[in-house]
């Protein structure tokens, strides 16, 4: 499949052939769902913690004698039955992370890229953004007919894109990522994906 290449003024510069095995596969919903769950789970802190009756302070003395008071027998005021007592089966710090085979992760990325191929805009580079101005970035997105949540995949350290990050960071609906940081969550959340020609080649080389 081929895509038109534009500059940031919306002018057509030519065409690029996208690798069918990366950008044209049948999206596998189950694998994409697993990859998304893995990404969200791996980002969880898992630091919730409640103290058991063994860990709360106090409660060393038997609160009242065993017999004769008419009350239920009690050995500690830090029992889960009392206010200030421990928590039964409360949360403890844990990891929610789980792994996926590398081939399954690659399939998830290919599926997400293929699912977004219609909303994908390929640009040569961002060299026309010659100074760090948000106005220039807004103008470029308008020229490319891109709106809503926009994911920009580009090498931010390349000379031709050196003002891209500074120009885009004040736009709430725009997210920038490096080709190496491509992930299923960002792809699925985006309404449009703007990707540079060099990023297409990087991703193809990594996933084909």
Domains by residue range for the chain, with CATH: 2-44+102-207 (3.40.1370.10), 46-95 (no CATH)
What would the DSSP string read from start to end of 149-186?
SEEEE--TTSGGGTTHHHHHTT-TTEEEE-GGG--HHH
> What is the predicted pLDDT for the residue at 189?
92
Cβ atoms of 79 and 65 closer than 8 Å: no
| Number of neighbours of residue 34 by Cβ within 10 angstroms | 18
pLDDT tens track of the chain, all 208 residues?
778 888 888 888 888 888 888 888 899 999 999 999 999 999 999 999 999 999 999 989 999 999 999 999 999 999 999 999 999 999 999 999 999 999 999 999 999 999 988 889 888 888 888 888 999 989 988 888 888 899 999 888 888 888 888 888 899 999 999 989 999 999 999 999 999 988 998 898 888 8
């Amino acid at each position: 499949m081929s895509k038109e290449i534009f500059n940031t003024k919306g002018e057509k510069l030519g065409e690029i052939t996208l690798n069918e095995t990366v950008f044209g596969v049948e999206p596998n919903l189950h694998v994409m769902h697993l990859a998304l769950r893995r990404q969200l789970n791996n980002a969880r802190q898992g630091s919730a913690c409640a103290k058991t009756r063994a860990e709360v302070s106090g409660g060393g003395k038997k609160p009242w004698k065993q017999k004769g008071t008419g009350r239920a027998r009690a050995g500690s005021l830090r029992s889960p039955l009392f206010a200030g007592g421990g928590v039964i089966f409360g949360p403890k710090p844990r990891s929610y992370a789980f792994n996926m085979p590398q081939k399954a992760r690659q399939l998830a990325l290919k599926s997400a890229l293929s699912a977004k191929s219609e909303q994908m805009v390929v640009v040569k580079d961002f060299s026309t953004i010659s100074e760090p101005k948000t106005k220039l970035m807004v103008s470029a997105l308008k020229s490319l007919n891109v709106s809503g949540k926009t994911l920009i995949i580009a090498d931010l350290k390349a000379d031709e894109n050196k003002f891209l990050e500074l120009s885009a960071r004040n736009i709430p609906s725009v997210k920038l990522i490096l080709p190496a940081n491509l992930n299923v969550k960002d792809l699925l959340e985006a309404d449009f994906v703007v990707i540079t020609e060099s990023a297409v080649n990087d991703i193809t080389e990594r996933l084909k």
